[in-house]
């Protein structure tokens, strides 16, 4: 088993197939000005609160979907993967919920981007096809892994969002990310080129949803 994402990225047939989408995800999400301002202590609280609210909702919905899927009659390795991912997602949602307690008294509705992302995941869950679901959740786990790595390099002392930085460093998603990639690498060997193209598009769609969450949190915060 590979012990780092760098090795997996180099060897992974699936990641090679979605290389352009992966580059987009890095540029548009990991390097988004939202995160730049958050880590540089320049992010306004209203942006941050909207962001926490969206992320908590998506993680919680994802956890519910994965719990449902883990109870279906899939191969044992897939069932175990869904169970682990559901537990991880629930932990992530719970941590964000605790951070949101600071903003009690304020009501934040789900933004359009948040609702669309959840609907996208719900639709895939309803179809019960585990390969598309794995492709669609990979961008979220990939981003979480790389945010973890970035936050490990930060000094959170006296940072206004130090709880979020601690949240990121406590969420070590790398092993889960590697397991998802390895499953995708095995599964795409068994499908047609047309099906492979559909899977690649789902990965890109999920990446777009991730970026839109950041865009809309910024937009909503600015208009508040």
Q: What is the pLDDT of residues 38-82, one digit of tens each?
A: 999 899 888 898 899 999 999 999 999 999 999 999 999 999 999
Residue of higher predicted confidence among 10 and 38: 38
Of the candidate ranges 26-35, 96-105, 137-146, 147-156, the one whose mean pLDDT is the lowest: 96-105
The range of the structural domain enclosing residue 53 comes to 5-223
First to last CA, the chain: 48
In contact, 208 and 143? CB cutoff 8 Å: no
CATH of the domain at 218: 1.20.910.10
* CA gyration radius, the chain: 17
SS3 label, residue 161: coil
Read off the tokens for 137. 């959740």
Q: What is the pLDDT of residues 145-203, one digit of tens each?
A: 999 999 999 888 889 999 999 999 998 899 999 999 999 999 999 999 999 999 999 99
For 75, half-sphere exposure in the C-beta direction (CA atoms, 13 angstrom radius) is: 7
Number of domains in the chain: 1
pLDDT-derived band at 106 (thresholds 50, 70, 90) equals low
Question: What is the per-residue burial (b if ≥16 Cβ within 10 Å, else e) of 178-211?
Answer: bbbbbbbbebbeeeeeeebeebbebbbbbbbbbb
Average pLDDT of the chain to the nearest whole number: 90
pLDDT-derived band at 1 (thresholds 50, 70, 90) equals very low
The mean per-residue pLDDT over the stretch 18-41 comes to: 92
How far apart are alpha carbons 143 and 134 in whole angstroms?
15
How far apart are alpha carbons 87 and 69 in whole angstroms?
13
Residue of higher predicted confidence among 2 and 52: 52
- pLDDT given for residue 138 in this prediction: 97
- pLDDT given for residue 36 in this prediction: 92
Read off the tokens for 151. 């936050």
Read off the tokens for 205. 């769609």
**Count of CB atoms situated within 10 Å of the CB of 30:** 18
Q: Which residues touch 69 (CB under 8 Å, ≥6 apart)? A: 82, 125, 128, 130, 133
DSSP designation for 4: S
Read off the tokens for 93. 């949602």
């Amino acid at each position: 088993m590979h012990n780092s994402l760098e090795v997996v990225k180099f060897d992974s047939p699936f990641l090679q197939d979605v290389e352009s989408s992966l580059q987009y995800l890095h540029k548009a999400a990991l390097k988004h000005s939202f995160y730049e301002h958050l880590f540089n202590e320049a992010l306004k609280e209203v942006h941050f609160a909207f962001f926490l609210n969206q992320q908590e909702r998506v993680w919680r919905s994802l956890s519910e979907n994965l719990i449902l899927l883990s109870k279906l009659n899939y191969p044992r390795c897939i069932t175990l993967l869904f169970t682990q991912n559901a537990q991880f997602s629930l932990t992530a949602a719970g941590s964000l919920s605790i951070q949101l307690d600071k903003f009690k008294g304020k009501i934040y509705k789900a933004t359009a981007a948040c609702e669309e992302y959840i609907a996208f995941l719900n639709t895939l869950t309803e179809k019960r096809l585990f390969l598309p679901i794995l492709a669609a959740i990979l961008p979220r786990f990939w981003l979480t892994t790389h945010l973890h790595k970035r936050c490990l390099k930060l000094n959170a002392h006296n940072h206004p969002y130090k709880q979020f930085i601690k949240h990121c460093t406590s969420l070590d998603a790398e092993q889960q990310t590697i397991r998802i990639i390895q499953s995708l690498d095995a599964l795409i060997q068994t499908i047609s080129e047309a099906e492979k193209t559909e899977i690649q598009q789902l990965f890109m769609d999920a990446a777009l949803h991730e970026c839109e969450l950041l865009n809309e949190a910024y937009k909503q915060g600015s208009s508040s």
